A and B are shown apart, each in its own frame.
Chain A
Amino acid sequence: MTTVKSAATREALGPTLIELQNSGEFDLIVVDADLGKSTSARIFQDTYPERFFTFGIAEQNMISAAAGFSVMGHTVFATTFAVFAEHAFDQLRMMVAQPNLNVKIVASHGGVSPGEDGASAQSIEDFALFSSLLNFNVCVPADVIEAAAITKAAALTPGPFYIRTARPKTSIIYTDGPQFELGRANQLREGNDLTIIACGLMVERALIAADELKNNNINARVLNMSTLRPLDTNSLFAAATDTGALVIAEEHLSHTGLGAMCAHALASSIPVPVEFIGLDRYGESATWEEALELTGLTSAKIISACHQVLSRKMT
């Protein structure tokens, strides 16, 4: 059980990479694009300097070189900010996804929560981009404990992997240890009136919303959908069948992210009313909490969406 109250999901990377290499089970290479202090990858460099390569501010080169390392048998972790990972989309497609190589992208500063840095630093399209790359697993941790578990899963899973982490320190959700299983949603609250599906920073907001709804005798199931690809359609369809109404919340463009992928799966099997909490605009400079407020990513908005979807629910 952890005693830390809050931490940023990006803080898990460096220590977990060291743990993985220490285990003797992996032949890791870590590549970086001059953001190792921010992504926490530099901690790995301090311990394993010969396994750490920076490519400077050159993400396309970094991703292509990572592919080269991987064909030599290495498990390669490539780290930068989410917006800069997007910079190498063509390299990710042709050099990593198509040949299905063992390259893991761990991209910090996802979503609008880089806050003060403003719109250019706020990646709100990375779920869409990485989910569009076949062969990629795509995961978003809800807290630092889950971030470490996802990083380990990435090392253990052959093939391309994308992990989006966040800049701000946020609450620990998995105080009793991680529940992560690749491709499986984790149920955090039981309930049969409706289901709130969330990922990343929105999981904490979903839990707050569910607790408040409970005061009004509305029992919301809460699923942490930390794996976006492959999508856990079993849990999704069970939620649709059992509760008949869904709210999907994400720190991402609403029309191309987790909500859109869930709606795509539901439409051809169990169409139920869905409300979406996500972005439809670029962010701007503000504190990270203000940035979430400005773009409607709050527990209050989730609660409103829950009432809305319940009004549409077929009885």
Chain B
Amino acid sequence: MSADLDFEQSAIILAANVRRHIVKMVYSAKSGHIGGSLSSTDLMAVLYSKYLKHDPENPNWNDRDRFIMSKGHCTPVQYAILAERGYFPIDELKTFRQKGTRLQGHSVLGKPPGVENSAGALGMGLSFGLGIRLAQKLKGMQNSKVWVLMGDGEQNEGQVWEAAMSATHHQAAGLIALIDRNGIQNDDFTQKTMRSEPLDKKYEAFGWNVLSNIDGHSIPEIAHAFEWAITQDDAPTCLIFDTIKGKGVSFMENNPGFHGAPPDDEQFKIAMQELQ
């Protein structure tokens, strides 16, 4: 088996494990954001398998890349990935959203190790990542990068565009925005609530390098996009992934009802069967 196939196989297995964790966590907690976690599972699996420079044994390693979870409601996917990568015991995922847990409903900086930012209010992560990237540049950390994951609904926030404008102004190459374009926000489809398209042309107009229409559930396509992004050294880079909200569970897929609602007992059983 070639190294590429090896990597693809391991990313597929990681994503499958993460999806099961997500559904279990949200079911057990009886709350949490399942749809946007499942839509970004594959790109997170590829990122944490190969492209993100990090060390679970030494989470505060100075030269690491920073992953900023700007869509801070999607903690299930982030915690599941971090646990699978060894940042903390997988068993701890059972404590998600419960009293005394480190696994808070929305991201809290440093809880658990590997969570690099506080989030929940949308639209702030790209600015935060920009500050980190500019500090990295000032310190000569040219080989480190900052990856910021946003939702497509999140693009409604005006601050995103403040960050987009200033990132090119300050020549923040090495800042990589990832947009999980699943087409659904809290209340409804993004096309109904607030049309944000054409996102690719908007980021291009702000001076970013953009790759769009990436199949966010194809491991090789995601990997190809990351390969391209890490070579861009003249401007910040935006990758727009086409994803399916609730991906992997038939009745959750592309269903606005599963943005922030947990499955009931019967739905949980079916979901776990489908994810086997």
Give the docked Cα–Cα distance between A313 and B110 (Å): 52
A135 lies within 8 A of chain B by Cβ: no
The secondary structure that dominates the A interface is helix
Q: Which residues of chain A are within 8 angstroms of B166 by Cβ–Cβ distance? A: 55-56, 58, 61, 65
**Would B129 and A61 count as touching, CB distance under 8 A?**
no
Q: Is the interface of B mostly helix, strand, loop or mixed?
A: helix
Nearest-Cβ distance from residue B273 to partner chain A, whole angstroms? 39
A95-B132 contact in complex given A55-B166, A64-B124, C-beta closer than 8 Å:
no
Are B135's CB and A64's CB within 8 A?
A: no
| Min CB gap A54→B, angstroms | 9
Query: A177 interface residue, CB < 8 Å from B?
Result: no
Q: Are B131 and A69 in contact (CB under 8 A)?
A: yes
Decide if B138 touches A65 in the complex (CB within 8 Å). Answer: no
Q: How far in angstroms is the closest Cβ of chain A from B149?
A: 15
Is the beta-carbon distance between A61 and B163 smaller than 8 angstroms?
Answer: yes
B-to-A contact residues, CB < 8 Å: 108-110, 116-121, 124-125, 127-136, 138-139, 158-159, 162-163, 165-166, 169-170
Chain A residues with Cβ below 8 Å from B121 are: 90, 94
Asked whether A65 lies within 8 Å of B119 as measured between CB atoms, the reply is no
Residues of A within 8 A of B124 (CB): 60, 64, 90-91, 94-95
A176 within 8 A of B: no
A53 contacts across to B, CB distance below 8 A: 134, 170
Q: Does A4 contact B (CB under 8 A)?
A: no
Q: How far is the CA of A74 from the CA of B133 in the complex (A)?
A: 13
Instruction: Find A94's partner among B120, B131, B132, B165 (CB 8 Å cutoff).
Output: B120
A104 to chain B, nearest CB (A): 14
Residues in A whose Cβ lies below 8 Å from that of B128: 64-65, 67-68, 95
Is there contact, CB below 8 Å, between A71 and B127? Answer: no
Q: Is residue A157 within 8 Å, beta carbon to beta carbon, of the partner chain?
A: no
- The 5 listed contacts between A and B (C-beta, < 8 Å) are A50-B138, A68-B128, A68-B132, A95-B118, A99-B118
